[in-house]
Structure 1
Amino acid sequence: MVYKAAIIGCHGVGKTTLAKRLENKGFKVFNEAVINKFTDKNFFLNEVQMINDNILINEAIGREESVSISDRFAFLDILIYVEGFYELGWITAEQRRILYFLVNHAGHDWIFPEKLLCMNDDKQLIIDNIRRRGRKGLKESDEKYLDTIHGLFEKFYSNELIFEHLNPELGEKIMRIPKHLIKGMDDLNKVMKLLEE
């Protein structure tokens, strides 16, 4: 198994587009978990379902023999969205603690990528991308939601985001993964070179 990289960033930044371009170059791509039935109905149960779905995706990555990348880094996404939902008041402090408990005690040995391709772009460009694709996901056009998630990813990119309820060993593993900032329109050759390093 060679889990080369995970493409990370907030919704609308261009992760799936980049993943498809890399798939066309021969990489095995693991896609994000599908939107589940709790999305936009019960944020706590949505996250519980995401933990389960992402463990299954992570297990599949561990069984893969070819060089692979993922559209999102499941483990990190769970944490970012738990923090975002908590900041927005969509889950309670107790629900937040329970979600961290599930991550910390899932009985799953998380597989981490060799590097993170950290996508970021101007917020207006991200909003335009969301409108252009016309997909109705979880409050994707809600600017407060976008601001919160976008801001949390930026804090993570600059090592300012602390997951205080996360098992410290897991937290250290995340922080040790090399981060490479890229824009949605970066030359594919530049991204390929990063993956070859």
Structure 2
Amino acid sequence: MKILLILLAMFSLIGCGLLKPLKSEPSEVVRLMSTKYCQSPETMARFGDYCELDAWSDKLILLSTISWPIRSDMIEALPNDPKSLIEKVLLSQGDDTPYRNRLRAQQWIEDLQMLTDTSMTQVLDILIFQPSQQLLELESAITILSKVNARQEKTITAQEIQLVEKDKEIEKQRKQVEQLLDIEASMVNQNRSDSK
């Protein structure tokens, strides 16, 4: 009985993780993905700090706190070299960036992808181009739907006005028919009284 209680207590402790099993397998080695995205020295020279993912994330975090008018001025002040183009693209990624400017940033990404290594091209595509493209497509769809809704609203309003006018005309015709019926009824009554 004591042995059963001891075994039960050991299994409970092992189940809770308080006792470690005697044979433990070695921990799996986790290999972190490289954060360097420039493979050639030429690309490293061209893009500088932006060869590392940390530079991208730091810049995006910083830029998320700046309003669009200020970011727009910053974009205008930058030259058109590859490193500055990346900065311009990152400056154009805020939520408050106008559609046209985000579209221009897509063109900059396409220009940059011609100048970069495969890994940098993938980073540009996955982190910036694809999400921004989806956002642009959604905004286009919303704009089209808004225009369609506005057109339909005008059509509905025009149809409502036509219905009101038709109702007025029907009411006018109904009154005319009632008047004619009243005239006919009075004539019939007059003929009856004349014939008596």
Larger RCO (CA under 8 A, 6+ residues apart): 1
TM-score after normalising by structure 2: 0.27
Larger radius of gyration between Structure 1 and Structure 2: 2
- Higher helix fraction: Structure 1 or Structure 2? 2
- Higher strand fraction: Structure 1 or Structure 2? 1
TM-score after normalising by structure 1: 0.27
